[in-house]
Structure 1
């Protein structure tokens, strides 16, 4: 906020209009982002590979539109963010899901991935940390998966890392850019609204191999406007203080994280599960509360309506590829979260079987 105010005050003092950013973003922000990726182990990332976009979704659509041709095969391990479905469709791709299981903490083995890839698969999308599950894939897990993707030279690998700064595990979230990319096919999309506390400022970013980055920049120039310099000034300040901002967010979220996990564990029939390492969500298994007389997707929607009628809004897991689950956020005041859990118990207790 202060950085944006400084830019605005300078323009007022000079009685000059605000500067207009290049379509790819201001050089200062692009270099700061490249430097941060280099600090995270991606030693070869340069500013020319970094693009600043009007939110992560705009960047994703521009990227997918340049990557995909009509009918291209896209593989998405699920559960995953519901937005990918529509973005891939509008970019011309044909999305296939690769369902993962809560029972083994959504592990994705190299063998499972190899069995689902074909020479026609154009793109693999992985979210790390995952929205909605909070699963974090380690550097070793990434390395094992990339040993498989290297067998498919025409395959792009896209890592959605927008929650990378919100992590409660022993190790920081690895970036795909820090791993070997012999075919120059790795791409990362991120943003400032989650890990860097700039919700509402509309700033996203992506990092791609130079040739692809130039094509995406040309698309952004031809189809939209650059992110306002005020927002980019705020994003630059956030980038320069990213580690401190992330640590502060995690410290702020720890109490409500504990409240939500404890509250869910106290519900009827709750099984012992693995606490999510990333994001500020818990993807709760409510399959035991579903109406067995309905198809899973309909029963899941019914349960979400029942919770809403009881005063609790959740995201239906069916929208993420997992009917009967619900995405719950603990990025809320503790008092409101405790009230929501009490209301949830009132709705779910009579449904326990």
Structure 2
């Protein structure tokens, strides 16, 4: 799937700042009026749910917004505390970056927060993460080689120098870059409702699985994310989010992924890893204090994530989901009953 809407051009000022900051059927059997009743029903179902959560659209809201999905790259180290805006995200993907640390790709669509950050740079790994929903990225920038690849993938992005971005007082660079996302969202236009990020289903239809009240996802370096099931949801016990602004995870989805070399080093000399979010691998879906094991597959970088068990398709219960992209070789996932 390639981007169908025109990709906005980044101004030369913003582009310079980005680089610097990187440091129905053909049988004629149509129903009356020419519409396929089955297709119309399916379209109505999609229009009544949010693409990043599968939750119903309420009131006068619309599943088609006047902006695309926006994915903000957020720092995920102690220097980022307190992170702002995570509580408004529909979905979050945690990915490995250099030095064994992780960075967050926070997806916003049904709700756009005002302030969000700290905003950090893109990686080539993000191509496979954001492309399935034609998302636009909110970023501090990227290395030139990454910007070239992001451009080649047709991904729209906005960075420092663009509307909404500012440096917060009382914080040290590079952890002081924030944006008013309501302002940044006006720089781009929405189109059709995005595709569902995952296949959404009902909790009652989820395979039974096994008890799992805790999990620890280690990325093979100095970072481990630990989750505990409490009061019907999952709590990130090491979160850097501001109090009251934590991401309320209904499910945690762990995908074991291949990690390669992005082909360059960061300013500290660390090799930059690249998560390969295509192919197949082991999947672990945590919901309601239990874990269901299966397999994930992704035919290409811009294809959707598909989940399955030996019994068939595995659907994620509608709700807000945190996805852990844990390295297959160096990472580990520890599960406790």
- TM-score, normalised to structure 1, is 0.26
The structure that is helix-richer by fraction is 1
Larger Rg: 1
